Amino acid sequence: MDPIWEIDSHMPEFNRLSKDISTDVLIIGGGLAGILTAYMLHKKGIDYVLVEKDRICRGVTGHTTAKITYQHGLIYSKILKSYGTQTAQMYLRANMAAFDMFKELCKNIDCDYEIKDNYVYSLSDRKKLLEEISALEKIGYHAALCKKLPLPMDTAGAVRFSDQAQFDPLKFVSCISGGLNIYENTFVREMIKNTAVTDYGKITAKRVVVTTHFPFITKHGSYFLKLYQHRSYVIALENAQDVNGMYVDEQKTGLSFRNYGGLLLLGGSGHRTGKQTGAWSTLRNFAKQKYPNSKEKYFWAAQDCMSLDGIPYIGRYSKKTHNLYVASGFNKWGMTSSMTAAMILSDMLLHGHSEYEDAFDPSRSILKPQLFINGYEAVTNILTFSKKRCPHMGCALKWNSAERSWDCPCHGSRFDEKGHVIDNPANGDLKNKESAR
């Protein structure tokens, strides 16, 4: 169940922290957002340290389908309705700047970077597509409405952004991370004021950046209400179809398509973590019907943090934490959002502000419909009887038979059969881990 990117990756290795140290900026979390933030601080000569509990980019980043685009579903009509023209334009400019940064960096990196058009399609709702086109026109961007797509099912059309990109994320990271000040296998168990406590040393920092996918510090920011996690699945098919582009359904539960190295990456079958699903069987059944001569070569799963309004949380962890920063809630668009986060955070750390920070402010209003769904899931699962409970906030865990793991429907923590933590925000193993299954 290894992602295609990990098959031939040659990632640099870093030592584990073995003593107490101090630094100006501590970055907790070695996914793409953390690595890019470290890279930008390194280039500016800022004193920093990045720590990762396992190996860098072997979590969420390594399980992506690796699309670089500033077309994040039908996001612009939603932002325009909720926040107005200025915020929608700011979101677009920030992600276009992130795209341009990737384009510039990838000129000198062998990471299978390819320019491809990106399509967000709808199976049946053409009105949504027209609303997105209209919203984009209002904020000064022209996108094309496509009526026919080279996909093996009928659609109502798609909104196309030309000249977007795809790449191999681990080849990219292996090039930019060499020489960075990183400690791997260094699990931050807790924060005591401005000191991070690990198993083999403490790190005292003037400023802290949390890029741990789901923010693990619960006493600030209310991320346990503002985020939930969404799980989705990918199969890589040989002898399937060259779709010559990147395609994604506007529905979170729909299918995505893109090619890599002669393979078709077919993704989808998404659901809230902790809920029952067909997992890969749904994709395999689709492939059997639509690509009967194909052969499955790889399969894997991905997990994404979803914000309340479709906009990531990037900036100060909360209004009261001036030296604590966060990047999370990338809503399945982790590649471009990671670069956007790194640009915003590095500007805030270097200059005290970013021209894009207002659009991504983690302290913006949380009065959104998804808030009440998150609250309902939390209350329901906290009150559910179960011997297996998540150490994060005590929710009842659900057995995931497809992946043989214990999953939390509240906030998305996951544990293997023996009770060892796989995905955060849980910051430790199950207490009864030896008899977890």
Residues 340 and 213 in one domain: yes
Domain boundary pick from 342, 360, 378: 360
| Residue carrying structure tokens 């199950």 | 430
Give the model's confidence band at 432: pLDDT under 50 very low, under 70 low, under 90 confident, else very high: low
Instruction: For residue 363, give the amino acid letter.
Output: S
**83-86: long-range contacts (C-beta < 8 A, 24 or more apart)?**
83/359, 85/138, 85/139
Residue among 363, 339, 350 at smallest CA distance from 106: 339
pLDDT score for 117: 98
Bridge partners (DSSP) listed for residue 265: 236, 258
149 contacts 121 by C-beta, under 8 angstroms: yes
In a domain, 87, yes or no: no
How many whole angstroms separate alpha carbon 32 and alpha carbon 210?
12
**Residue 331, phi then psi, degrees to nearest 5:** 55, 40
Tell me if 279 is assigned to some domain.
yes
242 and 296 share one domain: yes
Rounded Cα–Cα distance for residues 18 and 199 (Å):
9
Domain limit, last residue, from 323, 338, 360: 360
Classify residue 273: in a domain, yes or no.
Answer: yes
pLDDT bin (cut points 50, 70, 90) of residue 157 is: very high
**Position 147 in a domain:** no
The answer on 317 and 426 residing in a single domain is no
Alpha-carbon gap, residue 216 to 412, rounded angstroms: 12
Per the DSSP assignment, residues forming a β-bridge with 25 are: 48, 207
CATH of residue 373's domain is 2.102.10.10
Same domain, residue pair 280 and 427: no
Please state the rounded mean pLDDT for residues 224-242. 96
The residue among 32, 62, 22, 2 whose CA lies nearest residue 236 is 2
- Same domain, yes or no: 316 and 286: no
* In the chain, % of residues over pLDDT 90: 86
| CA-to-CA separations, 373 to 285, 378, 379, in angstroms, rounded | 30, 9, 10
Which pLDDT band, with edges at 50, 70 and 90, does 433 fall under? low
212 and 246: one domain? no
In a domain, 244, yes or no: yes
- Residues 287, 422, single domain; the answer is no
The count of other CB atoms within 10 Å of the CB of residue 49 is 22
Phi, psi of 96 (to 5 degrees): -65, -40
Specify whether 315 is located in the same domain as 300. no
Instruction: Output the domain CATH number for residue 258.
Output: 3.30.70
Domain that holds residue 415: 369-435
Domain match, 299 and 313 both: no
Residue 6: phi and psi, rounded to 5, are -85, -10
333 plus 380 within the same structural domain? no
User: Quick check: 119 and 248 in contact, CB under 8 A?
Assistant: yes
Assessment of whether the complete model's pTM goes beyond 0.85: yes
pLDDT class of 313 with cuts at 50, 70, 90: very high
**Mean predicted confidence (pLDDT) in 295-318:** 97
Residues 318, 210 within the same domain? yes
**Same domain? 214 vs 324:** yes
Domain count, the chain: 3
Q: Which of 133, 179, 207, 122 is nearest to 156 (CA)?
A: 122
Residue 122 within any structural domain of the chain: no
